[in-house]
Amino acid sequence: MKKIAYVFPGQGSQYVGMAQDFYNNYSCAKDIFQRANKILKYDIAKLCFEGPIEKLSATEYCQPAILTASIACLAVLDELIKRESVSSVAGHSLGEYSALVAANALDLESALLLVKKRGLFIREASRQYPGTMAAIIGLDAEQVKNICKISSKYGIIQVANYNCPGQIVISGEHKAVDKAIEEAISTGARKTIKLAVSGPFHSSLMQSAKKKLYDELQNYNIKTANLPIYANISAKSITQPSDIKEALTKQITGSVLWEESIENMISAGIRTFIEVGPKRVLSGLISRIDKNVQVLNVNDEQSLKKFVGGICRGIAGKK
């Protein structure tokens, strides 16, 4: 049996209608949304299914929405594959909270309340210290780090995400990011993309959000994970509550080491990655990191049919 891992998407994967197929056709997914509505005290299902996209993309709504949709997808997947068949989990930025739910380190209520607060903390920090993010395509990590160093005379800037070979995201103050884009183009970047985000995520400009999240985490009972979680901040597997709290706190201002995380999971024997949640962003990144691993996704009826037809019986059989 191939070793498999679940991976969970972060902010930017949202779209109007996400997980609606599952809500309409699977009672387990509908139950997740109904529980989320009660926990959040607003209609997250209506926001996910009807939008508007502007509200759905706002950080304070987007984060609980993506987590809810991802866990609804996970509930459907649980009806097909025994969770015991999974060897490890990981999540990209916000997706780390979905991974913690999958590993039973956080219950749904705690995860939703935490990401709701996390979104508010990030929004407040972004208003106090405005900034933006940009993807640099076609340069390696050392080139991008050097570009950030050159551009730092114009303001705070750093690498936010090491996503995959040739795709690195930078974050910082507007002038510094604009200068970095110019430098990247002159260095030979194939493309630069200014991201549609509300702030400079994963940068030191988020320091106030980091402090507030640290304080907030002390109010929650995080349990020992029953699956290794590959943390964004270290790219190493963790299971202990103290390590999880530290990883979640540091992640706010630190870089997401996604490429290294996936490489470490592959080194640990993972040969099949299943992206659980909206869109296929992580599937694309993983395929660029290693073309020899199998990458699947489960986010709607169409993807579920492909999944069942292609691999479900081979992985673990039906319950």
Structure tokens at 1: 């049996």
Report the percent of the chain where pLDDT is more than 90: 92
Residue 313 pLDDT greater than 80, yes or no? no
Is the distance from CB of 134 to CB of 169 less than 8 angstroms? Answer: yes
Residue 318 pLDDT greater than 80, yes or no? no
Minimal CA–CA distance to 62: which of 25, 112, 137?
Answer: 112
Q: Dump pLDDT digits (tens) for 246-296.
A: 999 999 999 999 999 999 999 999 999 999 999 999 999 999 999 999 999
Q: Catalytic one among 93, 126, 171, 283?
A: 93
Residue ranges of domains in the chain: 3-126+205-315, 131-198
In which band, very low, low, confident or very high, does the pLDDT at 319 lie, cut at 50, 70 and 90?
Answer: very low
Which pLDDT does position 5 carry in this prediction?
97
Torsion of CA 107, 108, 112, 115, to 10 degrees: 50
In the block, residue with structure tokens 């992985």: 315
Give the domain 131-198 fold. Answer: Alpha-Beta Plaits (3.30.70)
pTM recorded for the entire structure: 0.96
Give the full edge-to-edge strand order of the sheet including 229-230: 237-238, 229-230, 86-91, 3-8, 270-276, 294-298
Residue 34 pLDDT greater than 80, yes or no? yes
Q: Over the chain, what is the mean pLDDT?
A: 95
Where is average pLDDT lowest: 234-248, 273-287, 302-316?
302-316
292 burial (CB, 10 Å; 0-12 / 13-18 / 19+) is exposed
Residue 316 pLDDT greater than 50, yes or no? no
In which band, very low, low, confident or very high, does the pLDDT at 1 lie, cut at 50, 70 and 90?
Answer: low
Q: Dump pLDDT digits (tens) for 139-155.
A: 999 999 999 999 999 99
* CATH superfamily for domain 3-126+205-315: Malonyl-Coenzyme A Acyl Carrier Protein, domain 2 (3.40.366.10)
Q: Quick one: angle between helices 281-289 and 258-267, nearest 10? A: 60
Phi, psi of 6 (to 5 degrees): -100, 135
93 in catalytic set: yes
Structure tokens at 116: 């709701």
Q: Catalytic one among 92, 98, 151, 202?
A: 202
Is the distance from CB of 216 to CB of 245 less than 8 angstroms? Answer: no
Q: Dump pLDDT digits (tens) for 95-135.
A: 999 999 999 999 999 999 999 999 999 999 999 999 999 99
Number of H helices, E strands in the chain: 15, 10
CA distances, 240 to each of 41, 114, 187, 226, 246 (Å): 31, 18, 43, 10, 10
Beta bridge partners of 73: none
Which pLDDT does position 232 carry in this prediction?
98
174 in catalytic set: no
